[in-house]
Amino acid sequence: MIDVDLFFFNFLFTINVSICLLSLYLGLEKKIYVKPSGELNPSLQVSVLVPLYKEKYESIMTTVKNLVVQTYPKKLFEVVIIVEPDDVRTKEALPKVFKFLKKHQIRSRVVESDGKVKLKAHAINCALKVVDADIIGVYDADDLFPKEQVEEAARLIEEGYDAVGTRVYRYRNTVLGSFLQLDTFIWYNVFIPAFQAMGRSFPFSGEGFFTRKTAIEDVGGFPEVLTEDAYLSILMAEKRFKFVLLDSEVEELAPKGWRSNIKQRLRWYRGFFQCLSRLLKAHMPIKTRLTLLFAYWAPIICGASLITTSFFLLYWVTWGFAPNISFVAPWMRTVIYTRYLYYWSAILGYIITASLIYIIAYLIAGKRFERLAPCVIILPLYWLYLGIVALATPFAPSKKWFKTERR
């Protein structure tokens, strides 16, 4: 079983590494992320939805302050705050929030969820019933983004796209925050452009996401699952909607500590397993299906990497100190299993991992992420941490949402 697991992981890891290297070699980030080509012809109404749950005033205002400076015409732009019926903390902060929005001449209103299901997607769907706009945008609390982002997303939709995504970086001045910045840097600058290039599809993020209201209505609203954004990609890909990546970014405050990050990861990984299950039943081109498969098997890669790394180290330790112990079944005692599989594992584990670390360090050199260089060297430890979380995912409570705590 150890060897079968090694082969399975080696195969998956080789594919992921190939995607990574191909994306870097072809310079896909610069080719795939785009800016709108034409001049803005402001005619489409935009409703920006901000679903909140037990958020502090400071967290709400971080996002709101970025919304009031947007360059999109204010007469075509509104902010919709969504709250839960029992969310006293958020409701107490709203009077000052709406006063600030009014001062900056931004139309705004609050929509209260029916409280039947405490999921972000359910709250957004409650708002969609009363929102009458051409374009729907979504942000969370604690989001930072450029002042042109709403306008540029609207222009891309005017050009014929149905869904617009962008880079989403998570930041915090801690060791964990540094790892998360590097993690999201790799995801959005290496893997997401590759997915878009391969299958014209990619997993959406719940921040800085824009779509036609008619498109979201065609798929029945936001799917009420744990990772509604990633799941929505499948539903829209089935409808052959056009995806595009805006050359912009959102910076979101990272979880405040390791415990909060574990909760967030558990939610994401459980949600990705839901996506994998739905993907098996999806009706879409094989190229698109494989592209999304490469994205959604991330938790499996993380879990398998921890298992195989552990057994691989155990193999070398026992080979050195207890050579008579065998972990290989008799039928596996062939050259492929006893020699080449371990060489393959060693190449992936040492040479390729070292090469990836060098490449990441090279990519951030001279850029604003350069200060994270010391953390690049120990990234493999962070990847093993993700493996532990991935293996714990099946044992996590299935009915608990695990809200991300940022402050």
CA distances to 196, 315, 316 from 325, rounded to whole Å, are: 47, 9, 11
CA dihedral 183, 265, 195, 70 (to 10 degrees): -80
- Quick one: pLDDT band at residue 112, thresholds 50, 70, 90? very high
Phi-psi region of 379 (alpha: psi -120 to 50; beta: other; left: phi over 0): alpha
Round the CA-based radius of gyration of the chain to a whole number and report it: 23
Q: Which of 6-15, 57-66, 329-338, 381-390 has the highest mean predicted lDDT (pLDDT)?
A: 57-66
User: If you average pLDDT over residues 212-238, what whole number do you get?
Assistant: 95
At 292, the amino acid letter reads: L
Per the model's pLDDT, the better-predicted residue between 69 and 406 turns out to be 69
- Quick one: pLDDT band at residue 28, thresholds 50, 70, 90? very high
Contacts of 238 (CB under 8 A, 6+ apart): 219, 282, 283, 284
Cβ(162)–Cβ(236) below 8 Å: yes
72-105 pLDDT, tens digit per residue, is: 999 999 999 999 999 999 999 999 999 999 999 9
186-209 pLDDT, tens digit per residue, is: 999 999 999 999 999 999 998 999
Per the model's pLDDT, the better-predicted residue between 70 and 350 turns out to be 70
pLDDT of residue 13: 77
pLDDT at 133 over 70: yes
| CATH fold of 1-407 | Spore Coat Polysaccharide Biosynthesis Protein SpsA; Chain A (3.90.550)
CA dihedral 6, 13, 352, 18 (to 10 degrees): 140
CA distances to 234, 244, 263, 347, 400 from 200, rounded to whole Å, are: 12, 8, 31, 32, 33
CA distances to 141, 145, 146, 179 from 66, rounded to whole Å, are: 11, 6, 7, 25
pLDDT of residue 159: 92
pLDDT of residue 42: 75
Distance from C-alpha of 361 to C-alpha of 370, rounded to nearest angstrom = 8
- Quick one: pLDDT band at residue 366, thresholds 50, 70, 90? confident
- Quick one: pLDDT band at residue 182, thresholds 50, 70, 90? very high
Listed by start position, the domains of the chain span 1-407
CA distances to 88, 176, 363, 375, 376 from 360, rounded to whole Å, are: 44, 17, 5, 11, 7
pTM of the model: 0.89
Place of tokens 């972990």: 327
Buried b (16+ CB within 10 A) or exposed e, 271-309: bbbbbbebbeeeebeeebbebbebbbbbbbbbbbbbbbb
pLDDT of residue 337: 53
- Quick one: pLDDT band at residue 399, thresholds 50, 70, 90? low
Beta strands of 213-303 (E only): which ranges? 243-253
Q: What is the mean pLDDT of the chain?
A: 87
pLDDT of residue 324: 57
268-277 pLDDT, tens digit per residue, is: 999 999 999 9
- Quick one: pLDDT band at residue 155, thresholds 50, 70, 90? very high
At 225, the amino acid letter reads: V
CA distances to 49, 167, 387 from 392, rounded to whole Å, are: 33, 28, 9
At 214, the amino acid letter reads: T
Phi and psi angles of residue 119, each rounded to the nearest 5 degrees, phi first: -130, 145
Pairing state between β 33-34 and 143-144: unpaired
* Least confident span in 144-148, 349-353, 372-376: 349-353
pLDDT of residue 302: 83
User: If you average pLDDT over residues 271-289, what whole number do you get?
Assistant: 93
User: If you average pLDDT over residues 235-244, what whole number do you get?
Assistant: 96
pLDDT at 25 over 80: yes
Distance from C-alpha of 309 to C-alpha of 82, rounded to nearest angstrom = 44
Place of tokens 């931004």: 106
- Quick one: pLDDT band at residue 14, thresholds 50, 70, 90? confident
pLDDT of residue 38: 73
Neighbouring C-beta atoms of residue 399, cutoff 10 Å: 4
